[in-house]
Amino acid sequence: MRYTHSFHGLDQGFLLFLGARGRISTDQRTNQARNCLCHLSQGWQWGRPERRSVSVSDGDVDQDLVQRAQSGDKRAFDLLVLKYQQKVTNLIGRYARDQSEVLDVTQDAFIRAYRALAGFRGESAFYTWLYRIAVNTVKNHLVAQGRRPPADDVDAQTAEQMDASGRLRESATPERQLLTDEIARTVQQALDALPEDLRTAIVLRELEGMSYEEIGAAMECPIGTVRSRIFRAREAIDRRLRPLLEP
Amino acid sequence: MTSNHRACLYAALGPDPRLRATWERYHLIGQVLRGEQVKPQVRAVAAAVRAWTDSVLSDPRRRAAAVRPRAWRPLFAGAALAASAAFLALLLVPSRYRKPARVAPAALAGEMPRPPRGPPLGHGPQ
């Protein structure tokens, strides 16, 4: 089998990744898997699920990972935690006071979710289910502390929309706040530095929530080109972001 | 991308820390682009949960306890215990402490064994 296809197509890249396992270097394999990840990590956005029509939706990915976790694959659950830890922390930060408390309750919420995972039947989206567990966990925590939880809940979608302006009710250390700001600034600078076609593609994808097909129609290019542009845009941003996050 | 393709990708993703880090950063990029708050210290949550699952799942007994829905287990156990106790009570208590059944005197009399009928006195064969 010869591997002469473009690495940027979703299926092509993935098949290359699979077919070449054991035949190419680890770095090359990793790059191919990163290409696939690029597509898997682009699920629909909260608030506008109707605009996504890609074949692999965020819900599909979550469902896959949940099923794998239910069958005993602990790394699958790890991927779900990696995906949702920021969202759940932001949510719990609306109820709890300080950073360490928020992180502890977030951890507890994920552990409770893991324990209850066998009972998750997929009748709702995974994040909706996880959101309810997180809210119950933080409310129980507040009651155990002798504090009164807020009477009114925000629903999952509203909480998601509030993330943009919400801040944890805590005083982050200057270093942490600096790093938080630097991450946002780095991503913005990387976005600004992208060639216009790559920037447009990823903005339409991430901010407008458009499907590959819709982006292709808007940019008047084939879907394969859209995939390639989004992949390259993510790679360019990631190259700048990685040094900040890796020790 | 078929489900088989995805399954193979997940299988490759799980044990590779570099790919998992990439997975996390790609999601993080999307969150930053959407203006969501991203805090680097939150990344400790995944590490802590991973350490917990590693420690718990390495022990089969703790694993069985961890993945079972604990919230319902005491409730079901208590309900089953109560039902068993009630059933035993129904079986045992009446047999030990049952009061003698009241029977109507007439019926009682009707059921009493009659004495064997002998020949009428004074009317025997002569």
Cβ atoms B13, A33 nearer than 8 A: yes
Interface contacts (A, B; CB < 8 Å)? 205
The answer to whether the Cβ–Cβ distance between B13 and A238 falls below 8 Å is: no
Q: How far is A220 from chain B (nearest CA, A)?
A: 23
- Please give the mean pLDDT across all residues of chain B: 70
Tell me which DSSP letter residue A149 carries.
Answer: P
pLDDT band at A59 (very low <50, low <70, confident <90, very high): confident
Query: Over 90: is that where the pLDDT of A233 sits?
Result: yes
Query: Over 90: is that where the pLDDT of A101 sits?
Result: yes
Q: What count of residues does chain B have? A: 126
Which residues does chain B have within 8 Å of residue A191's beta carbon, measured at their own beta carbons? 33
Which residues does chain B have within 8 Å of residue A86's beta carbon, measured at their own beta carbons? 27-28, 31, 36-39, 42
Most A CBs within 10 A among B38, B52, B56, B58, hence the mutation to make, goes to B38
Q: How many Å from the N-terminal Cα to the C-terminal Cα in chain A? A: 39
Token representation of residue A42: 């682009």
Q: How far is B66 from chain A (nearest CA, A)?
A: 5
- Please give the mean pLDDT across all residues of chain A: 77
Query: Over 60: is that where the pLDDT of B103 sits?
Result: no
- Give the tens place of pLDDT for each residue, A180-205: 889 999 999 999 999 999 999 999 98
Query: Over 50: is that where the pLDDT of A116 sits?
Result: yes
Which residues does chain B have within 8 Å of residue A237's beta carbon, measured at their own beta carbons? 29
Answer yes or no: is the ipTM higher than 0.95: no
pLDDT band at B112 (very low <50, low <70, confident <90, very high): very low
Looking at residue A136, its pLDDT comes to 94
Cβ atoms B36, A86 nearer than 8 A: yes
A240 at interface of B, judged by CB pairs closer than 8 A: no
The answer to whether the Cβ–Cβ distance between A82 and B20 falls below 8 Å is: yes
3-state secondary structure B62-125: HHHHHHCCCCCHHHHHHHHHHHHHHHHHHHHHHHHHCCCCCCCHHHHHHHCCCCCCCCCCCCCC
Please compute the mean of the pLDDT values over residues A216-241 and round it to a whole number.
93
Query: Over 50: is that where the pLDDT of A143 sits?
Result: yes
Closest chain A residue to B44, measured at CA: A103
A22 at interface of B, judged by CB pairs closer than 8 A: no
Specify the residue for token string 């930060």.
A93
Query: Over 50: is that where the pLDDT of A54 sits?
Result: no
Q: How far is B28 from chain A (nearest CA, A)?
A: 8
Looking at residue A186, its pLDDT comes to 94
Which residues does chain A have within 8 Å of residue B12's beta carbon, measured at their own beta carbons? 17, 21, 33
The answer to whether the Cβ–Cβ distance between A41 and B10 falls below 8 Å is: no
Query: Over 90: is that where the pLDDT of A216 sits?
Result: yes
Cβ atoms A109, A134 nearer than 8 A: yes
Looking at residue A165, its pLDDT comes to 42
Which residues does chain A have within 8 Å of residue B24's beta carbon, measured at their own beta carbons? 82-83
Cβ atoms A221, A232 nearer than 8 A: no
- Could you tell me which residues come within 8 angstroms of residue A238 by beta carbon, excluding any fewer than 6 positions away? B22, B25, B26, B29
Q: Which of A39, A2, A36, A4 is nearest to A17 (CA)?
A: A36
Which residues does chain A have within 8 Å of residue B29's beta carbon, measured at their own beta carbons? 187, 206, 234, 237-238, 241
Percent of chain A residues past pLDDT 70, beyond the cut = 68
Percent of chain A residues past pLDDT 90, beyond the cut = 46
Q: Least CB-CB distance to B26: which of A85, A207, A234? A: A234
Q: Is the pTM of this model over 0.90?
A: no
Q: How far is A42 from chain B (nearest CA, A)?
A: 8
Of A240 and B1, the structure prediction assigns the larger pLDDT to A240
Least-confidence region, from A45-49, A128-132, B62-66: A45-49
The answer to whether the Cβ–Cβ distance between B34 and A45 falls below 8 Å is: yes
Looking at residue B39, its pLDDT comes to 86
Helix then strand then coil, in percent of chain A rounded to 5, is: 70, 0, 30
A164 at interface of B, judged by CB pairs closer than 8 A: yes
Q: How far is CA A223 from CA A11, A55, A218, A226, in A?
A: 12, 12, 11, 5
Query: Over 70: is that where the pLDDT of A18 sits?
Result: no
